[in-house]
């Protein structure tokens, strides 16, 4: 997986671009999407509370990897949305949190794997999908990924600034 | 949504999230033997291809052989000073490195992916491909450091636009 810095910047880029055709997405919603990009990695709770401990307590095997899946992030986005105050806000929060989380899963797909296939089958749980070939673009500690994320975020920042300095003709 | 309904919905969703985690570990996603299967019946999986993520225990000076250790850990009890997990069983495997692209990049403590064929009662893997994911401590420090930094950026950006109220997050510009 890429580190959070890259995930957050890619989410910033994606949802800032999404602002242009979708009027209700403003900066505060971009921020929600960026938080959403962190949700799948809540499986790192493993470092704080190993699954073996919960297994030992309840007597049923437990692990945190289910959070790094479509099922997991959909439920996490729902939990996050309920933490917002009003109903229309909760609906939009759900969409942005889920969107951010899905951007994370998609960005994690084309990593380098020794058997040459993506972990799509695990990320897509509970959907039954195969493991397609991976282009093997990067491994987690590859520094250049963050460099690309910074360049992309800066480019989008500048384009966004230009976009709102020169509104489209229909607003004249 | 009324507060009581929100609270109920929260508990339901948290329960479902935990349920997803319980269900996920029972699923068999890969077409390869798991570490548990290898340790339970090593001879049964001889001849099969395996895909493993493991830390390198040792590596020969010519980088042609790498040793990894499969471990079955369990919760041994609360220990504030040390590891709460103990090892119930372990299984050492020697990996023969045929992948010339990784020669020179593997060291003890590296975290690698191995795709290869098991043999000799699963004590040996003839590797088709090895990916060195984390070569040394610096890679781990970079990943966790950048993740911490990214998380900080996201939180700062979020709280620039949202505030915490008794009933939940609200935009800072809301009355």
Name the pLDDT band for A165 (thresholds 50, 70, 90). confident
The CA dihedral of A40, A46, A52, A53, to the nearest 10 degrees, is -120
Quick one: what percent of chain B has pLDDT higher than 70?
Answer: 90
- pTM: predicted TM-score of the whole model, two decimal places: 0.89
Q: How many angstroms separate the CA atoms of B86 and A31, rounded?
A: 41
A-chain residues near B28 (CB < 8 A): none
Q: What is the mean pLDDT of chain A?
A: 92
Check whether B84 has a pLDDT greater than 70: no
Q: Looking at per-residue confidence, does A47 or A5 come out higher?
A: A5
Instruction: Indicate the residue of A8, A75, A112 with minimum beta-carbon distance to B131.
Output: A112
Confidence of residue B79 (pLDDT cuts 50, 70, 90): low
When computed from its CA atoms, the radius of gyration of chain A, rounded to whole angstroms, is 18
> Which is more confidently placed, B85 or B29?
B29
Nearest to A75 by CA among B27, B164, B11, B152: B11
Higher-confidence residue of A85 and B73: namely A85
Give the model's pLDDT for residue B62: 83
Residue A172 in this model has a pLDDT that exceeds 50: no
- Residue B68's SS3 state is strand
Q: What is the pLDDT of residues B117-170, one digit of tens each?
A: 999 999 999 999 999 999 999 999 999 999 999 999 999 999 999 999 999 999
CB contact under 8 A, A139 and B133: yes
Segment A87-143, tens digit of pLDDT:
889 999 999 999 999 999 999 999 999 999 998 988 999 998 989 999 999 999 999
Angle between helices A27-36 and A87-108 (to 10 degrees): 50
Does the pLDDT value for residue A170 go beyond 50?
Answer: no
- Rounded percentage of chain A residues whose pLDDT exceeds 70: 96
Residue B81 has pLDDT above 90, yes or no: no
Are B157 and A60 an interchain contact pair (Cβ–Cβ within 8 Å)? no
Residues 46-65 of chain B with CB under 8 A from chain A are 49, 51
Q: Which of residues 10-49 of B touch A (CB under 8 A)?
A: 10, 13-14, 16-17, 20-27, 29-30, 32, 49
Range in B28-32, B73-77, B134-138 with the lowest mean pLDDT: B73-77
Identify from A75, A114, A154 which residue to disrupt to test chain B contact, counting B C-beta atoms within 10 A and taking the largest count. Answer: A114
CA-nearest of B7, B89, B27, B18 to A57 is B18
Beta carbons of A61 and B169 less than 8 Å apart = no
Inter-chain CB proximity A114 and B51 less than 8 Å: yes
ipTM of the complex: 0.90
Among candidates A3, A57, A65 on the partner chain, residue whose Cβ is nearest the Cβ of B150: A3
């Amino acid at each position: 997986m890429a580190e959070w810095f890259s995930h957050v910047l890619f989410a910033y880029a994606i949802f800032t671009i999404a602002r242009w055709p979708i009027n209700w997405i403003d900066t505060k919603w971009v921020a929600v999407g960026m938080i959403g990009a962190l949700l799948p990695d809540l499986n790192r709770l493993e470092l704080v509370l190993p699954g073996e401990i919960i297994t030992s307590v309840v007597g049923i095997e437990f692990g945190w990897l289910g959070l790094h899946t479509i099922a997991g992030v959909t439920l996490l986005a729902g939990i996050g949305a309920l933490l917002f105050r009003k109903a229309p806000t909760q609906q939009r929060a759900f969409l942005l949190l889920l969107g951010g989380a899905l951007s994370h899963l998609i960005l994690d797909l084309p990593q380098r794997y020794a058997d040459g296939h993506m972990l799509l089958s695990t990320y897509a749980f509970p959907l039954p999908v195969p493991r397609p070939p991976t282009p093997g673009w990067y491994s987690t500690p590859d520094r250049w990924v963050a460099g690309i994320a910074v360049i992309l975020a800066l480019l989008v920042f500048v384009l966004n600034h230009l976009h709102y300095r020169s509104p489209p003709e229909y607003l004249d | 949504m009324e507060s009581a309904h929100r609270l109920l919905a929260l508990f339901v969703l948290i329960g479902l999230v935990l349920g997803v985690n319980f269900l996920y570990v029972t699923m068999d996603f890969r077409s390869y033997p798991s570490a548990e299967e290898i340790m339970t019946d090593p001879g049964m999986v001889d001849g099969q291809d395996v895909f493993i993520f493991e830390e390198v225990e040792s590596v020969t000076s010519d980088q042609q052989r790498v040793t990894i250790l499969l471990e079955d850990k369990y919760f041994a009890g609360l220990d504030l000073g040390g590891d709460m997990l103990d090892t119930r069983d372990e299984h050492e495997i020697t990996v023969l490195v045929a992948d010339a692209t990784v020669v020179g990049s593997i060291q003890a403590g590296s975290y690698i992916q191995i795709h290869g064929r098991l043999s000799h009662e699963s004590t040996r893997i003839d590797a088709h491909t090895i990916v060195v994911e984390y070569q040394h401590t610096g890679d781990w420090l970079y990943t966790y450091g950048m993740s911490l930094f990214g998380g900080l950026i996201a939180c700062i950006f979020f709280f620039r636009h949202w505030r915490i109220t008794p009933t939940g997050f609200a935009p800072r510009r809301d009355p």
